[in-house]
Amino acid sequence: MKGKPVITRSTENGVLKVSITEQNAAQNLPQVIPVTTTTPRAEKPLLVMIDPGHGGKDPGAIGNEGTYEKHVVLHIARRLQTLLDKQHGIHAVLTRQDDVFIPLYHRVSLAHQHQADLFISIHADGFTNDQVSGASVFALSEHGAGSAMARYLSQSENSADVLYDNDFKTDDQYLKETLFDLDQHETIHRSMNFGTHLAANIVKVHHMHSPHPEQAGFAVLKSPRIPSVLVETSFITNKQEEKLLGEPVFQEKMARALADGINSYFINEKKNNLLT
């Protein structure tokens, strides 16, 4: 396209259609290119990629009593997987099953390889002030999205051609960027919505450090198409919360809250025709 692209979207029977037309070309025949269409999936269960933070040589935050973030988050993640797998129509996969190191971008690629519908990274916060406590939920920030685009569109890793293989192929860098931008904006919006559903359920079992989802540039949230959040389940550097994190009862309560949040998000997405 020579001019500025105008993007329009419509949803029909659960199929999202995105059209790109050229601005100021209204008098001419509009060039409508169907770009991303999400085909309704009848049988396939919704796939949730659960990412226990850190692992292996990366212990994450360490509590004063010696509790490792990488261990407690794996316990919560496994419990969440069990709860989700019990439900009809949902399948949950972990990015790591054991105490192993996985690079951050590899966690995002795993979600893409599995064609995940959701990505949830589970952590336990650490801070120098041991009085700080509570859970937090993060989605990707716009700034983080900008750097993600640069990375994806570079040839080194996760090339955009891989992402758009089934839909659309183009050598036009500007069009590629526009498509990426469009996808990521939509995804951030859905991630924030997902975060709101999670926070609403976490607050029933634990107090929140901040009541609303926040935005940050975490690398694991940089998937352009999969709604992704990072949950800090509490502060491992806080004495009471370090104790809680080690307790199976708390781990199960937190996992249940996350499962409820995931369910409530899926129900909402179905209602809005964004899932089939």
Provide the pairing of β-strand 118-125 with 46-52.
Answer: parallel
Closest residue (Cβ) to Zn ion? 123
Q: How far is the CB of 61 from Zn ion (least distance, A)?
A: 6
Q: How far is the CB of 123 from Zn ion (least distance, A)?
A: 3
Smaller CB separation from Zn ion, 53 or 224: 53
Q: Are 245 and 134 in contact (CB under 8 A)?
A: no
Report d(CA 218, CA 140) in Å as an integer: 7
By CB under 5 A, residue 195 contacts Zn ion: no
Size of residue set near Zn ion by CB under 5 A: 3
Q: How far is the CB of 69 from Zn ion (least distance, A)?
A: 5
Smaller CB separation from Zn ion, 72 or 83: 72
Q: Are 236 and 127 in contact (CB under 8 A)?
A: no
Q: How far is the CB of 245 from Zn ion (least distance, A)?
A: 12
**DSSP E strands, 70-161:** 90-94, 118-125, 136-140
Q: How far is the CB of 53 from Zn ion (least distance, A)?
A: 4
Q: How far is the CB of 122 from Zn ion (least distance, A)?
A: 8
Smaller CB separation from Zn ion, 117 or 232: 232
> How is residue 151 written in tokens?
């990375």
Query: 């996992």: which residue's tokens?
Result: 255
Smaller CB separation from Zn ion, 60 or 134: 60
Q: How far is the CB of 126 from Zn ion (least distance, A)?
A: 7
Q: Taking CB under 5 A as the criterion, which residues in 47-106 touch Zn ion?
A: 53, 60
Q: Are 65 and 54 in contact (CB under 8 A)?
A: no
Smaller CB separation from Zn ion, 54 or 225: 54
Ordered DSSP codes for 174-235: HHHHHHHHHHHHHHHHHHHHHHHHHHHHHTTTS-BSSSS-EEE--GGG--SSS-EEEEEEEE
**CB 156: neighbour CB atoms within 10 A?**
7
Smaller CB separation from Zn ion, 235 or 250: 235
By CB under 5 A, residue 123 contacts Zn ion: yes
Smaller CB separation from Zn ion, 61 or 160: 61
Pattern 25-54, Zn ion, x by CB under 5 A: ----------------------------x-
Report d(CA 42, CA 66) in Å as an integer: 47
The residues that touch Zn ion, with contacts defined as CB under 5 A, are 53, 60, 123
